[in-house]
A and B are shown apart, each in its own frame.
Chain A
Amino acid sequence: MADTSPQDLKTVPLNDVHVALGGRMVPFGGYSLPVQYPTGIVTEHKWTREHAGLFDVSHMGPSFLLLNEKSGGADADHAAIAAVVEPLICGDVKGLKPGQIRYTLLLNETGGALDDLMIARPADPAWAGSLYVVVNAGTKDADFARIAAASTGKATLNRADNCALLALQGPEAVAVLSKLIPEVADLGFMTYRSFPWNGTVLVIARSGYTGEDGFEILVEPEHAKAFWDALTADERVKPIGLGARDSLRLEAGLPLYGHDLDETISPTEAGLNFAVSKRRREAADFPGAGRILKEYGGELARIRVGLLVDGAPAREGAEILDASGAVIGVVTSGGFSPTLGRAIALGFVPPAYAAVGTKLSVSVRGRSQSAEVAALPFVPHRYYRKPV
């Protein structure tokens, strides 16, 4: 990704808008996207925690997987489409309720993560037998090829990554978006629906990667500008670059594929046990189940932890040391937390060092700096919990 020359970069539907706003355009997953706008990452980060930040994440891979032949029974059709994808992942798709979204992982045969992704069941029974699937930018071609191959003869994968995918995140996101579409206020966390808006249909999920309440919205490319303008007309909304998205997700303690997750790391090692669904564990019918179930039972070589770091930020690749100075692990994401005003990091260590409060150190430019294992998330999540 880093070596992509500017002329190889793809542009997103809102490219001209970002350039006009003074966005600093850099490569992200093969696309040119703003890392920040003129106000800068710290200001943008804080705005999102206090108000509503609007992010362009159109580099990601939204898609729809549709059953080739429907039976007409909504539950049967859902079970049939779930059966197409479940052999690739560790999540329970069959058990999704209409409109529910699940975070899961695409695994290789040894239980390593090929990607982390969102899979969702449509709320409308007329759409039973289809799934809304959103994968990461850097892996999307391989992911789509893998899903399509597993679907051959049974289902068809339709990419929607020509569309704009926007994330509106922050405590005021719901107030802003419900001015345009009042019904979004009724969506629970990790659910989605389609809504007509201004001559188009928006696919709106109450989800996001900042730790805040918010929405991810799929918009047809020709309607993207009108929708962006409608949101940014509200003074509570500011455009936010992907630099602040990264610092927000780090504070939220969420793994980033290609950094805190890769094809050697299992969901168990990544601290994502919740993503290995109970039904799938009991059936032991997912890729790498042998390894992952052993790890589940406690045989774990390493585990992802959060670190509060004293002094300079410990970046990806910095070694993690024990009290005697021996190298026990490595930082996979690290930086500065604008909310906490100090350096934070994610990294992998053996489980014996993973207890909250364990004193460790990190090596930054050859110098040892003290660090302490911290509870994740670093900054509490504020997802919307729907009253029951």
Chain B
Amino acid sequence: MTIKFTQDHEYIRVEGQTGIVGITAYAQEQLGDIVFVELPAVGKKVKKGDETAVVESVKAASEIYAPVGGTVEAANEALGAEPGMVNQDPMGTGWMYQIHIENPAELDGLMDEAAYADFIK
């Protein structure tokens, strides 16, 4: 299992052909209290960099972009009732959606954990 990061502060946790996407601890910290999450429809096909979700804090809305292309396999519907899970556990229960990765080579352009830690310094 590997985890990769974008410069827009999304993570993708790769489990075989599936990637679990969300925002990083750093990103939720920057956004503050998250009060609403808009998720992509299951079955939606997206390209790397497409807007796939929106997280809203009290102050503002922020777009979440697809780290890689593929088909949305699942969305974390629990966030509808409890958007605050993104703040509490962004890399765990606060995940946003799962994507069937079309082209695993796209993962190579993303940062690994050490590179991301350096990026947000």
When distances are taken between beta carbons in the complex, the residues of chain B under 8 Å from A243 are 32, 58-59
> Is B61 an interface residue, CB under 8 A from the partner?
yes
A247-B58, A312-B61 as given contacts; A36 in contact with B32, CB under 8 Å: yes
The smallest C-beta distance from B94 to any residue of chain A, in angstroms, reads: 15
CB neighbors of A among B65-87 (8 A): 87
The answer to whether B59 and A35 touch across the interface, beta carbons within 8 angstroms, is yes
- Nearest A residue to B80 via CB reads A311
The smallest C-beta distance from B46 to any residue of chain A, in angstroms, reads: 16
Total interface residues on A, using CB and 8 Å?
20
Query: Which of A57-65, A335-343, A353-361, A373-381 binds B?
Result: A335-343
Q: B56 is contacted by which of A36, A45, A244, A336 (Cβ under 8 Å)? A: A336
Q: B36 is contacted by which of A36, A40, A246, A343 (Cβ under 8 Å)? A: A343
The answer to whether B36 and A41 touch across the interface, beta carbons within 8 angstroms, is no
> Is B112 an interface residue, CB under 8 A from the partner?
no
CA of A122 to CA of B15 in the docked complex: distance in angstroms?
70
A312-B56, A313-B56, A336-B56 as given contacts; A42 in contact with B35, CB under 8 Å: yes
The answer to whether A365 and B58 touch across the interface, beta carbons within 8 angstroms, is no
> Is B38 an interface residue, CB under 8 A from the partner?
yes
> Is A315 an interface residue, CB under 8 A from the partner?
yes
The answer to whether A313 and B35 touch across the interface, beta carbons within 8 angstroms, is yes
The answer to whether A313 and B32 touch across the interface, beta carbons within 8 angstroms, is no
> Is B54 an interface residue, CB under 8 A from the partner?
yes
A41-B32, A42-B35, A343-B36 as given contacts; A336 in contact with B61, CB under 8 Å: no
> Is B33 an interface residue, CB under 8 A from the partner?
yes
CB neighbors of A among B24-72 (8 A): 32-33, 35-36, 38, 54, 56-61
The answer to whether A41 and B57 touch across the interface, beta carbons within 8 angstroms, is yes
- Nearest B residue to A247 via CB reads B58
Q: B60 is contacted by which of A42, A311, A315, A338 (Cβ under 8 Å)? A: A315
When distances are taken between beta carbons in the complex, the residues of chain B under 8 Å from A247 are 58
**Please, what's the 1-or-0 string for A281-325, where 1 marks a CB less than 8 Å from any CB in chain B?**
000000000000000000000000000000111010000000000
CA of A41 to CA of B87 in the docked complex: distance in angstroms?
13
Q: How large is the interface on B (under 10, 10 to 19, 20 to 34, 35 or more residues)?
A: 10 to 19
When distances are taken between beta carbons in the complex, the residues of chain A under 8 Å from B54 are 312, 365
When distances are taken between beta carbons in the complex, the residues of chain A under 8 Å from B60 are 315
Q: B38 is contacted by which of A312, A335, A336 (Cβ under 8 Å)? A: A312
A312-B61, A313-B61, A315-B61 as given contacts; A40 in contact with B33, CB under 8 Å: yes
The answer to whether A40 and B59 touch across the interface, beta carbons within 8 angstroms, is no
The smallest C-beta distance from A345 to any residue of chain B, in angstroms, reads: 13
The answer to whether B33 and A42 touch across the interface, beta carbons within 8 angstroms, is yes
When distances are taken between beta carbons in the complex, the residues of chain B under 8 Å from A336 are 35-36, 56, 58
Q: B32 is contacted by which of A40, A246, A335 (Cβ under 8 Å)? A: A40
When distances are taken between beta carbons in the complex, the residues of chain B under 8 Å from A313 are 35-36, 56, 61
The answer to whether A312 and B36 touch across the interface, beta carbons within 8 angstroms, is yes
The smallest C-beta distance from A48 to any residue of chain B, in angstroms, reads: 13
The smallest C-beta distance from B14 to any residue of chain A, in angstroms, reads: 29
CA of A343 to CA of B38 in the docked complex: distance in angstroms?
14
- Nearest A residue to B61 via CB reads A315
CA of A64 to CA of B54 in the docked complex: distance in angstroms?
47
The answer to whether A41 and B38 touch across the interface, beta carbons within 8 angstroms, is no
The answer to whether A41 and B33 touch across the interface, beta carbons within 8 angstroms, is yes
- Nearest B residue to A26 via CB reads B59
When distances are taken between beta carbons in the complex, the residues of chain B under 8 Å from A35 are 59
The smallest C-beta distance from B51 to any residue of chain A, in angstroms, reads: 9
The smallest C-beta distance from A117 to any residue of chain B, in angstroms, reads: 25
CB neighbors of B among A30-62 (8 A): 35-36, 40-43, 45
CA of A243 to CA of B58 in the docked complex: distance in angstroms?
8
When distances are taken between beta carbons in the complex, the residues of chain A under 8 Å from B87 are 40
Supplied contacts A312-B36, A312-B38, 19 more A-B pairs, CB within 8 Å = A35-B59, A36-B32, A40-B32, A41-B32, A41-B33, A41-B58, A43-B33, A243-B32, A244-B58, A247-B58, A312-B54, A312-B56, A313-B36, A313-B61, A315-B60, A336-B36, A336-B58, A365-B38, A365-B61
15 A-B residue pairs with Cβ-Cβ distance under 8 Å, sorted by A, are A35-B59, A41-B33, A41-B59, A42-B33, A42-B35, A244-B58, A312-B56, A312-B61, A313-B35, A313-B56, A315-B60, A336-B36, A338-B58, A343-B36, A365-B38
Top 9 nearest A-B pairs (CB, nearest first) are A336-B35, A42-B33, A41-B58, A40-B33, A312-B36, A336-B58, A40-B32, A41-B33, A247-B58
Q: Name A residues whose Cβ lies closer than 8 Å to a Cβ of B.
A: 35-36, 40-43, 45, 243-244, 246-247, 311-313, 315, 335-336, 338, 343, 365
Q: Name B residues whose Cβ lies closer than 8 Å to a Cβ of A.
A: 32-33, 35-36, 38, 54, 56-61, 87
